[in-house]
Amino acid sequence: MDAIAEWTQSQQRVIELVEGLDPGVADTVVPACPDWTVRQLLSHMIGLDADVVAGDEPDDHNATWTQKQVDARADHDVATLVAEWRDLTAPVQEWMRANNTRPLGDVVIHEQDLRGALDSPGARDTDALAALRDRMAGRLDQVVTGAGLPGLRLSSPSWSFVAGAEPAAVTVEASEFDLTRALMTRRTADQLRGWVTDGDIEPYLDSFAGLGPLPTTPLPE
């Protein structure tokens, strides 16, 4: 996977999603990030890239840091935000070449968050989304193993994974995309319960909360 190319393509897709949005639509709350609107989530995405390039990045990406990115752009409309992001394209690419591919995960996750808010599904089969899925699956494996839980099987027609040791005591079956988003803390406990075909998912629910609390209402993307 060419991570820099994947980041650039995701950035361009997001710009195409938001560019020219009516201000009322830009003020739509993002279900996956209910504290923010579309414009505010875009502000965070751009602010994160600006901070990374500037070397202003805490290890934990805490809420105070991310909210500061949003607050600093509170009076910026979408056109102003897009212009800032385009100016950051080359610096972010250069930073990734010199350092690592960390900015890719943020844009990939939030692209799908924005698509859900704007009812515009797409980009479900990118190499970047698959790579991030595999990374989050590895994290799930560590959590399940560390908790001493029996194996947990995630199964779809096109992808499967066992967190922990075989044989799996619990099997969850859903589409590859739903399992991918579940690994990114974008599916509810009730959704996970509804996908169980064998075993008891309850001891594993916290293992899916790697990026914050599980959402309380189902997300469209």
Among 96, 108, 74, smallest CA distance to 177 is for 108
Instruction: Give the dihedral sign, CA 205/206/212/217.
Output: positive
- Total Cβ atoms within 10 A of residue 91: 14
Burial status of residue 65 (CB atoms within 10 A of its CB: 0-12, 13-18, 19 or more): middle
* pLDDT at residue 61, as a whole number: 87
**DSSP run (H or E) holding 94:** helix 78-98
For residues 163 and 154, is the Cβ–Cβ distance under 8 A?
yes
58-111 pLDDT, tens digit per residue, is: 888 899 999 999 999 999 999 999 999 999 999 999 999 999 999 999 999 999
Give me the pLDDT at residue 221, please. 82
The pLDDT tens digits along the chain (221 residues) read: 899 999 999 999 999 999 999 999 999 999 999 999 999 999 999 999 999 999 998 888 899 999 999 999 999 999 999 999 999 999 999 999 999 999 999 999 999 999 999 999 999 999 999 999 999 999 999 999 999 999 999 999 999 999 999 999 999 999 999 999 999 999 999 999 999 999 999 999 999 999 999 999 998 88
The class (CATH top level) of 3-118 is mainly alpha
Question: What is d(CA 220, CA 51) in angstroms, rounded to the nearest whole number?
Answer: 30
CB burial of residue 163 (10 Å; 0-12, 13-18, 19+): buried
**How many other β-carbons are positioned within 10 Å of the β-carbon of residue 171?**
18
Beta-bridge partner residues of 196: 172
Q: What is the pLDDT of residue 203?
A: 97
Distance, in Å, from the CA atom of 125 to the CA atom of 110, rounded to the nearest integer, reads: 15
Average pLDDT over all residues of the chain: 96
